[in-house]
Amino acid sequence: MLTVNNVDVSYGDVQVLKGISLDVKDKELVAVIGANGAGKTTLIKTISGLLKPGKGSIIFDDQPIHGLPAHRVVAKGIVQVPEGRLLFPDMTVKENLEMGGYLLSGSQMVANNLDMVFELFPVLKERQKQLAGTMSGGEQQMVAVGRALMSSPKVIMFDEPSLGLAPKIVQSIFDMIVKINKELGITILLVEQNVKHSCQISDRAFVIENGEVVLSGCGCDMLENEHVRKAYLGL
């Protein structure tokens, strides 16, 4: 469904992604794990069309998408929940959600998707008039996820959704990602430093180090891997 082939990305003279290849199949939940600075956000931004690969290709539903502007990538059905959530803090919850539906063709579709998001997250319905910036960290993550769902995506890419959240909330965020994958049938690419949780919930996982894939396999096998255990789980 989504294939990244041998992609290089640089910031000026500094090459950050070095021939990265990975693939995500329809309805799969795939994790990309790696330490701080490994190139995870750069990968997501590149798939999103915010950065252009110097080399390689990105294919979605049999069509190349590298080189497309970001709004066209969203229109094709790939949306990201960015690192740090990036909400509009001075806008209400409802206004933030509506921003996610700006590419939809009719107001009826926006209304339908809003109903779907409110059904999934009843707390957002209750708090729809609250300013997003005054919500708790976990609630803001729900708004960010709701905003992504507003565009009727086929694929959602999550960039470190658990970052900065209390351990109790982290579990509920991972549960929500599984629910979106299993119940709504949306394909997921999950980028995380939380190796344990993300391997547990993923079908497959890729480990990236210094902009390269060094390991890949089924999510549960990854937790048994000697290198993963030493380097990421401190075992």
Pick one of 41, 96, 162, 202: the residue that binds Mg ion (CB under 5 A). 41
Helices (H), the chain: 40-47, 70-76, 93-100, 107-120, 122-126, 137-149, 167-182, 195-201, 219-222, 226-232
> Is residue 34 a contact residue for ligand ADP (CB under 6 A)?
yes
Q: Which stretch binds ligand ADP (CB under 6 A): 38-46, 57-65, 134-142, 181-189?
A: 38-46
Q: Which is nearer to ligand ADP, 42 or 141 (CB)?
A: 42
Distance CA 9, CA 164 (A): 27
Distance CA 192, CA 204 (A): 13
**Radius of gyration, CA atoms only, the chain:** 17
Q: Are strands 212-218 and 204-209 parallel, antiparallel or unpaired?
A: antiparallel
* Residue 42 binds: one of ligand ADP, Mg ion, none (C-beta under 5 to 8 A by kind): ligand ADP
> Is residue 183 a contact residue for ligand ADP (CB under 6 A)?
no
Site string for ligand ADP, 42-81 (x = CB under 6 A): x---------------------------------------
Query: For the purposes of burial, counting CB atoms within 10 Å of the CB of 28, is it exposed (0-12), middle (13-18) or buried (19 or more)?
Result: middle
> Is residue 42 a contact residue for Mg ion (CB under 5 A)?
no
Q: Which is nearer to ligand ADP, 36 or 63 (CB)?
A: 36
Distance CA 106, CA 37 (A): 40
Q: Which is nearer to ligand ADP, 110 or 205 (CB)?
A: 205
> Is residue 162 a contact residue for Mg ion (CB under 5 A)?
no
Q: Which stretch binds ligand ADP (CB under 6 A): 29-37, 113-121, 149-157, 222-230?
A: 29-37
CB of 193 to Mg ion, least distance (A): 8
Specify the DSSP class assigned to residue 234.
-
Give yes or no for a contact between 8 and 55, defined as CB atoms under 8 angstroms apart. Answer: yes
Distance CA 178, CA 188 (A): 9
> Is residue 164 a contact residue for ligand ADP (CB under 6 A)?
no
Residue 121 has a CB neighbour count (10 Å cut-off) of: 20
- Contacting ligand ADP within 1-20 (CB under 6 A): 11, 14, 16
210: left (phi over 0), alpha (psi -120 to 50) or beta: left
- Contacting Mg ion within 77-106 (CB under 5 A): 83
Q: Which is nearer to ligand ADP, 42 or 187 (CB)?
A: 42
Q: Which is nearer to ligand ADP, 46 or 151 (CB)?
A: 46
Interface with ligand ADP by CB under 6 A: which residues? 11, 14, 16, 34, 36-42
